[in-house]
Amino acid sequence: MPRTRPQSPKPTSAPSAELESNVGYMLRRAQLAVFADFVACQSAPRTRPGQYAVLLLIGRHPGLSQSALCDQLSIKRANLVPLLNELKRRGLAIRRPSLTDRRSNCLYLLPAGEKLVARVQKAERIHESRIVQLLGTQRQQQLLTMLEQLSHLRLSAPKAD
Amino acid sequence: MPRTRPQSPKPTSAPSAELESNVGYMLRRAQLAVFADFVACQSAPRTRPGQYAVLLLIGRHPGLSQSALCDQLSIKRANLVPLLNELKRRGLAIRRPSLTDRRSNCLYLLPAGEKLVARVQKAERIHESRIVQLLGTQRQQQLLTMLEQLSHLRLSAPKAD
DNA sequence: GCATTTGATTATGCACTATAACAAATTGCA
DNA sequence: TGCAATTTGTTATAGTGCATAATCAAATGC
């Protein structure tokens, strides 16, 4: 009986020593693992980190415009459009024309969206607790601080100022 | 005079407080910034982190097979193919049929590949020094350690063991 | 009032990841 | 030894994330 083994025991083979001192490479690896865990901690209808971020922000700031949301998430306006279309299709959020600016839309969660956010948040707490379990609370906080600093790396001109 | 301002002063606007305590989200942000800086630290013909990783490993392990390389990098065999095609097209690396296993190829850097690796490594040192400048040596080391731990998060079964 | 800017959208492209299917070669074992 | 199973590289394909340019309507700034 062949039976394609359920998944070779290849547990994210250690990165070769050449690369494990490269911050960027390790960041990518960690990010993939953490995102996968975030999704894995959910049940039934899984929500991707990106969609979750959108839903969470809309829920926190009802009536937000698409542009404002894009600024918050550092994504391009053009890329938000299909995201919102999908959320609308799933009955999670809606666009409503602004009353004060006829160009822009106000974003709102629908009841199903509220419920989904609550559900994913529960999973997210489990997910984060798994991280704390791995790093400890203090180091997790240090990690967040460092990641925040790194996200400002923005080419501050390697040459002069 | 209109002059489309060179880039609105939107310096990676701070992530909304709702998300900045989310490790996954902050990892993604930091990773994007770090990758961008890695590329920005190079001159002339920029090399992406992915291609660089491939070239570096081939350089360190001449004769490596494609499968072995994929294992090291945790990428799928199918995705390495176009990558290698591109490297061959640019005259940076080649496949040579293995003498001991006629299924597999041995990978080698061409002189141009060697030179490119050396050049990018120089940029990489500058890039990493910019990170150290931001975090300090000790915290950078702590960061690497934590990222390594996180990359092993792999669903260790949230339920039981 | 008219030039400029802004908000949302469409179209498009690139990079990365993932899966399934396949042929040729190798391996394992009965 | 012979045949089933696995491995290697490949093709085809799909989904996701990010980016740019062009467009239209609406708002803003002299």
B46 inside 8 A of chain A by CB: no
Mean pLDDT of A39-47: 87
Burial class (CB in 10 A: 0-12, 13-18, 19+), A58: buried
Mean pLDDT value across chain A: 86
pLDDT value for B14: 57
> Can you name the CATH fold of A46-145?
Arc Repressor Mutant, subunit A (1.10.10)
**pLDDT digits over B86-106, tens only?**
999 999 999 999 999 999 999
Mean pLDDT of B2-18: 46
Mean pLDDT of B116-144: 95
Q: Report the C-alpha gap between B24 and B98 in whole angstroms.
A: 41
A151 inside 8 A of chain B by CB: yes
Share of chain B above pLDDT 70, in %: 85
**pLDDT digits over A86-131, tens only?**
999 999 999 999 999 999 999 999 999 999 999 999 999 999 999 9
Give the pLDDT band (50/70/90) at residue A44: confident
Using alpha carbons only, give the angle B99, B104, B106 rounded to the nearest 5 degrees.
70
Chain B (51-110) residues lying within 8 Å, Cβ to Cβ, of chain A? 53, 56-57, 60-61, 71-74
Q: Taking the domains of chain B in order of start, what are their residue ranges?
A: 46-145
Q: Report the C-alpha gap between B91 and B113 in whole angstroms.
A: 7
Taking CA–CA distances from B26, the nearest residue in chain A reads A147
Q: Where are the beta strands (DSSP E) in chain A?
A: 93-97, 105-109
Residue A135 has pLDDT above 80, yes or no: yes
pLDDT value for B102: 94
Give the pLDDT band (50/70/90) at residue A3: very low
Helix (H) or strand (E) holding B40: helix B23-40
Mean pLDDT of B24-46: 92
Mean pLDDT of B118-142: 95
Residue with the larger pLDDT of the pair B149 and A13:
B149
Which residues make up the interface with nucleic strand D when CB must lie under 7 A?
A: A 1-5, 8, 48-50, 75-76, 78-79, 101-103; B 28, 32, 65-68, 70, 77-78, 80-81, 84-85, 95, 101, 103-105
Tell me which residue has tokens 């922000």: A57
pLDDT value for B3: 32
Tokens describing residue A124:
């997210």
Are A150 and A88 spatial neighbours (Cβ–Cβ below 8 Å)?
Answer: no
Mean pLDDT of A46-54: 93
Residue B4 has pLDDT above 70, yes or no: no
Q: From A101, A35, A106, select the one nearest A69 (Cα to Cα).
A: A106
CB neighbours of residue B4 within 10 Å: 6
Tokens describing residue A146:
């460092």
| Single-letter amino acid, residue A93 | A
A12: CB partners within 8 A, 6+ apart = A29, A33, B74, B151, B152, B154
Residue A11 has pLDDT above 80, yes or no: no
CB neighbours of residue B58 within 10 Å: 24
Are A83 and A50 spatial neighbours (Cβ–Cβ below 8 Å)?
Answer: yes
Tokens describing residue B125:
């040192």
Residue A53 has pLDDT above 90, yes or no: yes
pLDDT value for A62: 96
pLDDT value for A150: 94
pLDDT value for A4: 31
CB neighbours of residue A81 within 10 Å: 12
Residue A157 has pLDDT above 50, yes or no: no
Contact A35 B57 (CB under 8 A): no
Q: Report the C-alpha gap between B88 and B124 in whole angstroms.
A: 23
Helix (H) or strand (E) holding A30: helix A23-40
